[in-house]
Amino acid sequence: MNKLKVLYVASEAAPFMATGGLGEVAGSLPKALAEKYKNKIDIRIILPLYQGIVDRSEFEFIGKTSVPLAWRQQYCGIYKTTLNDITYYFIDNEYYFKRSECYGHFDDAERFAFFSKAILYILPMIKFMPNIIHANDWQTSLVPIYLATKYFGYEGYRDIKSIITIHNIEYQGVFDLAISEDVFDLHGKEKGIIEFKGAINLLKGSLETADIISTVSESYSKEIYDDYYAHGLAEIIQKNSYKIRGILNGIDTEKYNPEDDEEIFENYSAESIQKKNLNKKNLQSLSGLPQDKDVPVIGIISRLVKHKGFDLIQSSIEEILKEKVQFIILGKGDRGYELYFKYLQESYHDKIFVRIGFDSDFAKKIYSGADLFLMPSISEPCGIAQMISSRYGTVPIVRETGGLKDSIKDASLGKGNGFTFSEQTPQALCEAVKRALKVFENKEDWEKLVETVMKVDFSWRKSAEKYFDMYSSLANIEENNNEGL
């Protein structure tokens, strides 16, 4: 049987480059697919060769070419490596990618236009004409757009189907209309595809041109029909509703495994949750908080931005601090929140520890050492932290939105794997936290809950199956069409 050929294109993928959720998913979903469907799928990944990708010792140089980008001809080197039986390609161009940060440059539009153009341009060179190209977020949105415009009807490209996955619809790749011709080489009717509300909107263009639109949870796939969640794109979502799917992300359960994780103080499993206490004790000591196992520790690891629910936290935390509780907060983001938490730490130094920054080592200490994990997002396409914390037996408290709603069910009435609330009010958040603290007081009930939480399967197993089915049926449509011709 011929293997299904899928090219997974993303602006980041762990372990090579990961700045957020997209990198985690791009690093773990293809791996899960390749493992589960060894003989059925050949999934390859293509990434920009960023300066931050330092270990290139296993990379093989496979050629160079020059990619046309409107009036430019840009150097494109191609490297290749294999990891976990998956082939990774890297697009090299130092002018675009030899920079200390992946995003946030004045010419991001041009950098990712080049990347997208190069991907399609080099397919014959790498001798991989896929059945499906799976693009992710605005940075690779031009891939389905170019496939539908520049490559329309071309031999070899004609049969390639495309998928765009939205990891967060808030980030759309919006640029000045004036660069449509000069950078993207899209004119007239083609320009219309990426034009939206007087600007260029790359995500909109890919929603219009891809064969399937997927997003990272079922609830989010429904929420984005509403502009409150869709950030202006609801009408495009509604128009393309026939091709929208929602598949919940999983996590790499090998990478996040309390049984053999070397970054935590003491390994443990659902069968030895008492050992989690040692992690708690060390976390409290690292954070300069009293080492008391009877005081519940609430962890927060997040970007400190509004949509992660920080206004709700800010308006309710002092009320919660009246209880017997400790908070350990890790993250960075809006200056206002950073300052607020710093101020709070000074006023409640024996109850709160705040570290401003991203620190994956300290994050692991929180995941393993806290009792509860707070994630009251206003919107959350999927969310990964609630799954990681669950894996480490740290019980999530979440707002019922997007992937949080799909992954965490309230345990107050018996069954469930966390605590949830729906209303976007400080009262609702407080009430959910207090419910959690109540259960914590009863040691037996608490241990039962921690065990249940740890045993929930957040691996990619189920979702990889859904992706595989989606890929297969999309590729089959192709075969059927050919038969009909």
Per-residue DSSP letter, 459: S
DSSP-derived secondary structure for 269-336: -TT-GGGHHHHHHHHHHHTT----TTSPEEEEES-B-GGGTHHHHHHHHHHHTTSS-EEEEEE-B-HH
DSSP code at position 342: H
The residue among 109 and 382 lying less far from ligand GLC, judged by its C-beta, is: 382
How far, CA to CA in Å, does 84 sit from each of 27, 39, 56, 257? 11, 14, 16, 18
Binding to ligand GLC by CB under 6 A, coded x per residue (else -) over 394-423, reads ---------x--------------------
380 is a contact residue toward ligand GLC (CB under 6 A): yes
Q: Please report, as a single letter, which amino acid is at residue 45.
A: I
Q: Which of 118, 372, 384, 450 binds ligand GLC (CB under 6 A)?
A: 384
Residue in 139, 140, 168, 463 binding ligand GLC, rule: CB under 6 A: 168
Cα separation, 98 vs 78, whole angstroms = 15
* Interacting residue with ligand GLC among 296, 299, 383, 393 (CB under 6 A): 383
216, 247, 372, 454: which one binds ligand GLC (CB under 6 A)? 216
- Which of 249/417 has CB closer to ligand GLC? 249
Select the span of 20-28, 190-198, 298-306, 389-397 touching ligand GLC (CB under 6 A).
20-28
Q: Using CB under 6 A, pick the residue from 4, 147, 304, 382 that binds ligand GLC.
A: 382
CB of 450 vs ligand GLC, minimal distance in Å: 23
Separation between Cα atoms, residue 472 and residue 131, nearest integer Å: 9
**Closest distance between ligand GLC and the C-beta of residue 219, in Å?**
11
Cα separation, 101 vs 113, in Å, equals 17
Residue 393 binds to ligand GLC (criterion: CB under 6 A)? no
Per the CB < 8 A criterion, the answer to whether 460 and 254 are in contact is no
- Compute the residue count for the chain: 485
Q: Taking the C-alpha atoms of 203, 205, 206 and 211 in order, what is their torsion angle to the nearest 10 degrees?
A: 150
Give the up-direction half-sphere exposure of residue 357: CA atoms within 13 A in the CB hemisphere. 6
Q: Is residue 25 at the binding interface for ligand GLC, with CB under 6 A as the rule?
A: yes
Asked whether position 69 contacts ligand GLC by CB under 6 A, the answer is no
Q: Which of the stretches 221-229, 377-385, 432-440, 459-467 binds ligand GLC when contact is defined by CB under 6 A?
A: 377-385
In whole angstroms, how close is the CB of 104 to ligand GLC at the nearest point? 16
Question: Which residues would be at the binding site for ligand GLC (CB under 6 A)?
Answer: 20-22, 25, 167-168, 216, 249, 380-384, 403
